[in-house]
Chain A
Amino acid sequence: MAMKEIRLHGRGGQGAVKAAQLVVRAAVTGGKQAQFIPFFGVERKGSPVFGYLRVADEPIRRKTQIYTPDMLLILDDSLVMLPETYAGLKEGGVIIINSTKSAEELNIPQQAGTVAEVDATAIAEKHLGRNIPNTTILGAFGKVSDLVDTETLFSTIEEIFGKENRKCAEEAYEAVTIIRK
């Protein structure tokens, strides 16, 4: 497998960093190479947070930002207003987004391939009582992508964040809808 580059977009407090670190852990557990670099702006709750996640079979050498992602993982749909959110998405690139809006409302770019949507906020609030959609959106990630083994991902979520977070991921795995193919 050639290296896959995933860019995360979230807001401070949503747990984007922890989610990506979980993917790295699950990938490494499965014998793959993986790397995550968070990019903090001003560190405060609610401000936009970026993250750069790479998964590959071969060692990953570059430690740079991601300019042409294979996949976008968007934890907050208000971020699609920012030009940098969809910037550089590869032709046929995958978008996984925490939203209930239509593809038109989300202004999905022309070049996007599969677009998967899940109401991660509602699922997280149901199980955790708070809008921390990180482990939930990983359920959608597990369904849409085959970069990491789903059971390894779910057991890693349970190991680090407990049973309720695993339930979030499992529910999102079932609830995710493909709004464009």
Chain B
Amino acid sequence: MGVIKVLTGNYSASEGAALCRPDLIAAYPITPQSSVVEYLAGKVHNGVLDSNLVQVESEHSAMSVVEGAAYAGGRVFTATSAQGLALMYEPYFRMATLRLPMVMAIATREMTSPETIWSGQQDAMSVRDAGWIQMFCDDNQEITDMVIQAYKIAEDEGVLIPVNVCYDGFYSSHLTTGVDLPLQEEVDAFLPPVHFNHATLDPDHPISLDPMTPGNLLMKYRRSHLEAMKRVPEVVDRIDKEFGDKFGRYYGGMISEYRIEDAEIVIITVGGMTGAGMDAVDAARENGIKAGLVKLRFTRPFPAARVAKALEGKKAFAVIDRSVCFGWSCGPMYMETKASLADAADQYCHFSAIGGLGGADISTDMIYSTIQKLEDNKETKTELETQWYITE
């Protein structure tokens, strides 16, 4: 049994990170993430958390500092958003391809330009091919729980890949609600201290790590990275069960499903829009529409097999993205959902819905309109134009 605390989404991430006893935390402030690390700094200052807190002058330095500490065998944490993530891209990619496990929270934010500081998932989506595992949370409870699970996933010896725990800027990062906070001793029992078998940086025994690597050997590393990614779904399922058995909360692994069994039409969501999506599904059911919902919990690796199975025998689906896929005139998760169906996509009516960019809301009514459009076209087996949630 945990203790109920009233927390913002950002503080939910901080509390989750603190319970994992990171050896080192480094971050640079950026809206809407800043309070994640402010809160942790407070804990370190008050002596509640025994972590090294390094103040840096940029996100590039933040990621470089945690990279060094992870190289030396430590458990590390940082958080960022949008332009901060863009600035740290170089060490960000390197963190994953060095196969150093860590957890970074992303309070997702629209990318500039046009100038904006508000919500959107374009930042995290833009780096989905940088070698990290990426997952998106719906509510504050899931943020805390997934930061804890993410360390266990990242540090699994069959994985050794860093994890982004993403949640929507403002709509989740600044949302205040009650969270059932696990107790320290429970988390200690769930997540043992970090231990690596790989070569580590040690000033007393200097060695050179990550030297120039010729193509053939580099490809072996890449192949090994992709193979580790393939093992992730199984590890996520195992850890979801282990966590659920211990804390009483199961999340469904790579995806979660809502009222899907007898559904004819399915909406697919990412992140904090899921709650409104479930309310829209309930409203549609009351009006006799057989609607259901699939939430993409993990986007890297993409849960292709689970998504294809969930859609089996359904008539129509739409994927709602809070970001765009330049080059495909649709949302990125729509494109990837279609890819996981391959030729079977022709068996459905389907389309991409895009909304919530630059801080705009994705309302229950907007999602309902998508459900209605699917219902009206469910027998057509055609791809419809991208639906934009733009209000005039």
Contact = CB atoms under 8 A, between A and B. Distances in A.
Contacts of A35: 175-177
A20 B176 contact: yes
A64 B361 contact: yes
Interface in A40-56: 40
Interface of A is mostly: mixed
A177 interface: no
A63 B178 contact: no
B275 A61 contact: yes
Contact of A63 (B4, B6, B272): B272
Interface string A6-32: 000000000000001100110010000
B275 A36 contact: no
Contacts of B126: none
A25 B272 contact: no
A63 B139 contact: yes
Category for how many chain A residues contact B: 20 to 34
A37 B174 CA distance: 6
Interface string B174-213: 1111100000000000000000000000000000000000
A7 to B, nearest CB: 13
Contacts of B6: 21, 24-25, 28
B170 A37 contact: yes
A38 B139 CA distance: 16
A24 B274 CA distance: 22
Contact of B176 (A33, A36, A39, A67): A36
Contacts of A181: none
Contact of A28 (B4, B273, B363, B364): B4
Interface of A: 20-21, 24-25, 28, 33-40, 60-65, 67
Interface of B: 4, 6, 139, 168, 170-172, 174-178, 272-276, 278-279, 361-365
